[in-house]
Amino acid sequence: MKISRRVFASTCLSLFLLTSLHTSNAQTTKPGPATKPTIVIVHGAWGGSWAFRHVEALLREKGFNVYRPQLTGLGERVHLSRPDIGLSTHIDDVVNMVLFEDLHDIILVGHSYGGMVITGVADRVPDRIRRLVYVGAFVPNDGETVMSLGASRGTWLKDMIKGDYIVPPWVKPNQPPPKDVPQPLQTFSEPIVLKNKAGFKVPATYILTVEAGKEARDDDFWPQAQRAKERGWPVEQLTADHNAQWSAPEALAAMLASIR
């Protein structure tokens, strides 16, 4: 079958125009926005991941992927509570979630006791973490415990020890969930072990929560914020009580979203 010169020329012109249009579009298309880091939030003592549901929702509205690992023996895993659960158990909880979910480029947030946990996680998987964020949290050195860090605040912790558990006065039997529950004593008495030098190089930010009308230096975690400052970390202040996830969730979410 013969093709006329006019048809051949028309076909070539059409192909040329289509190719030029595709090339032009490829050159003018702007790259999409950079992917936002994954935020992993580790809750504090006696509590559970349930306490950060609202904060997670606010962060997801801002485009973040959020995980809230539940520490063994607390929250929804209270049925697994045992006296031999220690700080290392809780560090394993978060490390294994990071590994099995294959998470990278993480902003790892620790609230209160959660600061002990994220410090241990950074020692184990520093390559997975973009930045640590301590929210009114402990900043331990190697060999320290919650009990030793809290010693300067008097006997308040020792007064709550009931056998193998630490039971604060607000934790009462027969309360409906979600609720705070007794904390295994070993999580407060087990020293943290920090051996990986790379873990100390992970960038970190400290957020000190201070109630309205009060002085920052009067906050229980002021010494921890000062320790963070001595390490050269940026220290930010949030107007909220110790549980900012309830008293100032929007402000907390906005602050977490701004940290890179």
pLDDT of amino acid 34 = 60
Over the stretch 159-195, which tens digit does the pLDDT of each residue have?
999 999 999 999 998 999 999 999 999 999 999 999 9
Domain count along the chain: 1
- Is the residue at 28 inside a domain? no
* Domain extent for 104: 38-258
Over the stretch 192-229, which tens digit does the pLDDT of each residue have?
999 999 989 999 999 999 999 999 999 999 999 999 99
Ordered alpha helix ranges (H), the chain: 5-28, 53-61, 87-100, 114-124, 146-149, 186-189, 222-230, 244-247, 249-258
- Is the residue at 2 inside a domain? no
Please name the helix (run of DSSP H) or strand (run of DSSP E) that holds residue 91, with its range, or none: helix 87-100
- Is the residue at 158 inside a domain? yes
183-184 and 165-166 as β-strands: parallel, antiparallel, unpaired?
antiparallel
Cα distances (angstroms) measured from residue 90 to each of 27, 51, 83: 50, 17, 13
Degrees to nearest 5, angle at CA 190 with 181 and 127: 95
Cα distances (angstroms) measured from residue 14 to each of 9, 26, 144: 9, 18, 74
pLDDT of 98 above 50: yes
pLDDT of 260 above 60: yes
The CATH number linked to 163 is 3.40.50.1820
Over the stretch 29-85, which tens digit does the pLDDT of each residue have?
454 456 889 999 999 999 999 999 999 999 999 999 999 999 999 999 999 999 999
Catalytic residues: 112
- Is the residue at 6 inside a domain? no
- Is the residue at 108 inside a domain? yes
Over the stretch 25-44, which tens digit does the pLDDT of each residue have?
444 445 445 688 999 999 99
Does this model's pTM top 0.85? My answer is yes
Do the Cβ atoms of 225 and 208 come closer than 8 Å?
yes
DSSP letter at 245 equals H
Tokens 């920090």 found at: 194
Please name the helix (run of DSSP H) or strand (run of DSSP E) that holds residue 5, with its range, or none: helix 5-28
Integer Cα distance of 149 and 17 in angstroms: 72
Integer Cα distance of 209 and 164 in angstroms: 30
- Is the residue at 239 inside a domain? yes
- Is the residue at 81 inside a domain? yes
- Is the residue at 12 inside a domain? no
Q: Compute φ and ψ for 48, nearest 5 degrees.
A: -165, 170
Ordered alpha helix ranges (H), 167-211: 186-189
